[in-house]
Amino acid sequence: MAAFLQTNITLDSIKIVPGRYSSLTDRAPYRIRCAAASPVKKRYNIALLPGDGIGPEVISVAKNVLQKAGFLQGLEFDFQEMPFGGAALDLVGVPLPEETSTAAKQSDAVLLGAIGGYKWDKNEKHLRPEMGLLHLRRDLKVFANLRPATVLPQLVDASTLKKEVAQGVDMMIVRELIGGIYFGEPRGITINENGEEVGVNTEIYAAHEIDRIARVAFETARKRRGKLCSVDKANVLDASILWRKRVTALASEYPDVELSHMYVDNAAMQLIRYPKQFDTIVTNNIFGDILSDEASMITGSIGMLPSASLGASGPGLFEPIHGSAPDIAGQDKANPLATILSAAMLLKYGLGEETAAKRIEDAVLDALNKGFRTGDIYSPGNKLVGCKEMGEEVLKSLDSKVPATV
């Protein structure tokens, strides 16, 4: 049962459902099975890609939470941990080994930690960890990236915005993920007729690529507050002119959704000036990359935000939007909540296990209600904890039968 999006039908029809190693040749997949009291169990294969920096730390915590939630809901998981990013570069010389790609494609869902770090920054482009992520998205054909940005009442004081501006913010950014300037051709660095180096990237979108991400966004808005803002640069870019034309044409199929358009530079300003105006945002690859990181700081910390990347068929890719934070790696300082919430999105959007997902979401809220905070979201009066202890508190809260209050 893999995550998928069929963009010509509704999300109700879609349902968006269905060990460490020394070398690639001698590793044995690290598997954990969680049993449940129920005689009938659902069983899923989960590919774990810890990656680099704090990735292994947050993945370890999220795996434990996913295992516990599965146990409580009668779900059984087989976890297969594979090298990826800089870790794979160090192991076999490429950021996305063929075996890792195969394991991901054969899984029911993929949970990723983080990639990148200073030690690989000077590598040639094709040997950088980030290229592994781009290629993994391409291999999985995940074109729709869903990034929620919600300011929790418990963390409103952690936002860099005034309380009255940040309070109540709840938006979903739907980003096109495998097209646009990150993948367009021609691309590269060449020498022109004057003997001067020239760098070229191409922003290109075909109509079907715009239509499929727009449908996902309309359906997402329909399930939220019924407002969709399409962000482009149609006053300058031809690709954006087509983007706006296609999105506008589809609006007639969704009369219950209020569609608006906004230039990306204005959207960047409005996210800071009055973020509560946004419900669902749909935009292209590069604009979504930038705006979703901006939105993360409204919530107080990039360490709180999960994401889901889904395609027309096959497994989805679930990951926190934060980076590998090599400066704090191995120090038990990382915030694991974004990865834990990514595991909840994996259950909800990847496997259709909404009850188990809600358990995790409630457990995170309960831990926050009890005052536990990692350093990035700490404020006086709360208890400062590390990555492992935060995970332990979420595990304790999973056993609570009373839903946490927001």
Distance CA 340, CA 346 (A): 10
Q: How many CB atoms lie within 10 A of CB 381?
A: 8
Helix segments in 74-206, DSSP class H: 86-92, 98-106, 129-140, 163-166
Distance CA 213, CA 287 (A): 14
- As assigned by CATH, the class of the 42-149+303-405 domain is alpha beta
Closest of 211, 258, 257, 267 to residue 234, by C-alpha: 267
At 111-121, the pLDDT tens digits run: 999 999 999 99
Distance CA 134, CA 327 (A): 24
Q: Is the model's pLDDT at 152 over the cut of 60?
A: yes
What local confidence, expressed as pLDDT, does residue 31 receive? 42
pTM (2 decimals)?
A: 0.83
CATH number, domain 156-190+198-300: 3.40.718.10
Q: Is the model's pLDDT at 406 over the cut of 90?
A: no
Distance CA 68, CA 88 (A): 29
Task: Give φ, ψ of 59 to 5 degrees.
Answer: -65, -40
Q: Is the model's pLDDT at 148 over the cut of 70?
A: yes
Closest of 154, 41, 113 to residue 324, by C-alpha: 113
What local confidence, expressed as pLDDT, does residue 401 receive? 55
Distance CA 119, CA 122 (A): 7
Give the HSE-up count for residue 271: Cα atoms under 13 Å, Cβ half-sphere. 30
* Residue 171 β-bridge partners: 149
C-alpha to C-alpha distances, 4 to 129, 142, 352, 386, nearest whole angstrom = 26, 9, 11, 35
At 153-162, the pLDDT tens digits run: 999 988 889 9
Do 42-149+303-405 and 156-190+198-300 come out as alike in CATH topology? yes
Q: Is the model's pLDDT at 351 over the cut of 80?
A: yes
Q: Is the model's pLDDT at 361 over the cut of 70?
A: yes
Question: Which one is predicted more confidently, 21 or 55?
Answer: 55
Residue pointed to by tokens 């068929």: 313
What local confidence, expressed as pLDDT, does residue 400 receive? 73
What local confidence, expressed as pLDDT, does residue 28 receive? 41
Residues with active-site annotation: 182, 233, 265, 289, 293
At 257-286, the pLDDT tens digits run: 999 999 999 999 999 999 999 999 999 999
Q: Is the model's pLDDT at 328 over the cut of 80?
A: yes
Is 299 within 8 Å of 159 (Cβ atoms)? yes
What local confidence, expressed as pLDDT, does residue 17 receive? 40
Is 38 within 8 Å of 74 (Cβ atoms)? yes
Residue pointed to by tokens 């941990």: 81
What local confidence, expressed as pLDDT, does residue 157 receive? 87
What amino acid is encoded at 211 in this protein? D
Q: Where are the domains of the chain?
A: 42-149+303-405, 156-190+198-300
pLDDT category at 1 given cuts 50, 70, 90 is: very low
Q: Of 6-10, 91-95, 125-129, 257-261, which gets the smallest average pLDDT?
A: 6-10
> Taking residues 310-336, what's their average pLDDT?
95
At 296-317, the pLDDT tens digits run: 889 888 889 999 999 998 999 9
Closest of 243, 221, 222, 215 to residue 310, by C-alpha: 215
At 197-240, the pLDDT tens digits run: 999 999 999 999 999 999 999 999 999 999 999 999 999 999 99
Task: Give φ, ψ of 208 to 5 degrees.
Answer: -65, -30
Compute the mean pLDDT over every residue in the chain, rounded to the nearest whole number. Answer: 90
High-pLDDT (> 90) share of the chain, %: 83
C-alpha to C-alpha distances, 399 to 48, 71, 121, 134, 258, nearest whole angstrom = 24, 11, 43, 38, 40
